[in-house]
Structure 1
Amino acid sequence: MVKILYSLCLLLPLGSRAQQLAADSIAPDPPALRRVSSSTSQEGECQEVLQCDSLKGVVRVYYASGRLKSYTPFISQQPTRRWGVATSWYESGQLQSREDFINGQPHSLLVYYPNGTLKRQTTYANNQEMLGYCYGPAGQPLPYTPYEQPPLYPGGEVMLKSDLAHQLRLSYMQRELIAASPTAQYVEVYFEVAKDGSVRSPVVSALYPALVTALGGSVRASELLSTQLPVISAALVQAFQQLPRRFLPGQRDGEVAAFACRMSVDLLATGRHMR
């Protein structure tokens, strides 16, 4: 199943205008931040991932002008598992959105127009968007529309699994290694569906702990793990990157947007035997 990792937001006192707040007053930096990665998009926007310990960190995105675009705290070594208050700004510095989530689950959301007028107020229950309120630029009530419409793979989940099975090939040794532990058979793959529907930056959750337990931690097991696990992970990443179809792009607040996604993959059911 493909799941969308929603961003969420903390409700502000309702008013006709959002007050401009400094980044640190909304989401202060955790102590001893260290940069884990940094990248620049084709549009010139810079994203940096910072961590303050083995679990907690933040993702900052800057406009090409150098002004802060968004600030998103995360937990559990996965920047897509958000926890806390995520904030975004227009390039003018005006508050655009304020989101609140707990352990990766959305809680509430406020979105504002560039002039500071409240645009929408949304709440979530059991990871599902509830009916909220939408407003026009002058503050007039509007019919409510969903905030997020996730990307869709042509043919749905069945076709996505079929295409992955066609792309992913595992050797006999790799399949036997995975079969040694039932829990190692299932992995989570985190990836982004870009605005053009392409898959970007797939990351495979760790296989190592479950297999170490299953194989008893022997020297031979360690040798197999150290040589084969990177190959298995790389093969799965490549399978996602070589999907023959693009997703139908998702929309956020009525505009095409990139989405952080997660898919649970059964390696033995998906991977074809490589002869």
Structure 2
Amino acid sequence: MYFRLLLAASMACVTAVAHAQASPPVQTPTPPAETKYFDADHHQVLTEAGAAEKRVTTFRDTVGGTVRAFYLPSGKLKLFTPYADLRHSLRHGTASEYFENGQLRFQATYKAGKVVGDLVTYYADGTLKRRDHHAPDQPTSGECFGPDGKPVPYYPYEQMPVYSVAPGDQAAVTRDVQLNTRYPAVALRQGVYGIVKVKFVVGKDGQVKNIAPVEPAKDAVPAKLATGYRALQDAAVSAVQQLKSFAPGRQDGEPVSVSFTVPVTFRIK
């Protein structure tokens, strides 16, 4: 039935198509693109000077698109990732990463943000490093290999940082931040309360760094309460600065920096 409907529609448009052939071809607009530069620590920089990576985002529409990254200064392709939703980092399609020598480093196919099928990684000389098997409603299984190609004990592809004070306790970080928080006097006087979010990075060495408050939406804080709210932000940042070290996060066995956001609650009883 669907084929018949398509055929009837094409037949009904024959005359219109014949007349349209004499018209100039329609120019397809070039999709918009956005270029950003990053240093070796993945911090965004303004220009290519001193940058280690150029990242080009091409928008398919207002939601999805693709991201291509290039090594600098060589300009060689570093990664290609398709997204169904760029804002929420929702991958959809086959993503690939490469060593600067051109050798494939990582490849996996995503569907609505989840890996489907096999996730594979390689060493720089092309030796297989891992193969993870992903199936719906099944635990991930896989196999890992050393640089010599021989099997080694399996380890997860992604391992989150572990707080050294309480390994295995997911709430320990939030609890320590809350215990280290002191209510600022100026905020008490103004009656300012609420939740302040603080972002930070656990570096490859396990140390907490790049601590900063997450700024609220524009006009979310009345001007007359701005001083008190800023005091809450400063107190929350101070509490995060007192966190102990972590065992660093790992990706494919290698230490990586991982970003966190922690909420700090201020209440007046």
What TM-score range do you get, normalising by the shorter chain? Answer: 0.5 to 0.7
Q: 1:118 aligns with which of 113, 128, 148?
A: 128
The question of 1:33 aligning with 2:46 is answered: no
Report if the CA contact (8 A) 2:128-2:149 is conserved: yes
For residues 137 and 240 of structure 2, the distance between their equivalents in structure 1, rounded to whole angstroms, comes to: 28
CA distance in 2, matches of 1:143, 1:60: 32
Q: Name the residue aligned to 1:83.
A: 91
Q: Say whether the 8 Å CA contact 1:168–1:235 is kept in structure 2.
A: no
Distance 2:154 2:107 in 1: 19
Matched residue count: 219
Q: What CA distance in whole angstroms lies between the structure 2 residues aligned with 1:199 and 1:61?
A: 28
- Is 1:133–2:143 an aligned residue pair? yes
What are the Cα deviations for residues 115-140 of structure 1, in whole angstroms up to 9, with x where unaligned? 32332111346899611123455655
Task: In structure 1, list runs of 5 or more residues that go unmatched.
Answer: 1-29, 179-184, 213-220
Task: Please list, as runs of the form range in 1=range in 2, the aligned pairs for 1:136-147 lying within 5 A after superposition.
Answer: 136=146, 141-147=151-157
Alignment of 1:37-186 (within 5 A): 37-41=36-40, 45-46=52-53, 48=55, 50=57, 52=59, 55-56=63-64, 58=67, 60=69, 62-63=71-72, 65-73=74-82, 75=85, 77=87, 81-84=89-92, 85-107=94-116, 108-124=118-134, 130-136=140-146, 141-156=151-166, 157-165=170-178, 166-167=180-181, 171-172=187-188, 173=190, 175-176=192-193, 178=194, 185=195
Q: Which residue of 1 aligns with 2:254?
A: 255
Whether contact under 8 Å (1:122, 1:129) holds in the other structure is no
Greater C-alpha Rg = 2
Which TM-score applies when normalising by structure 2? 0.58
**Contact 1:208 1:229 survives alignment (8 Å):** no
User: Which ranges of structure 2 fall in alignment gaps of 5 or more residues?
Assistant: 1-29, 42-49
The 2-side partners of 1:127 and 1:263 are apart by 29
Specify whether residues 174 and 133 from structure 1 end up closer, same or farther in structure 2 by C-alpha distance, changes over 3 A only. Answer: farther
The RMSD of aligned alpha carbons is 4.5
Identical amino acids, percent of aligned pairs = 27
Q: Distance in 1 between matches of 2:172 and 2:62?
A: 37
Q: Which of 1 and 2 has higher RCO (CA within 8 Å, sep 6+)?
A: 1
Partner Cα distance (1:59, 1:140) in 2: 33
Q: Which amino acid aligns with 2:31?
A: P
Question: Corresponding residue for 2:47?
Answer: none
* SS of residue paired to 1:132: strand
Please tell me whether the aligned partners of residues 148 and 253 of structure 1 are also in contact (alpha carbons under 8 angstroms): yes
SS in 2 for 1:134: strand
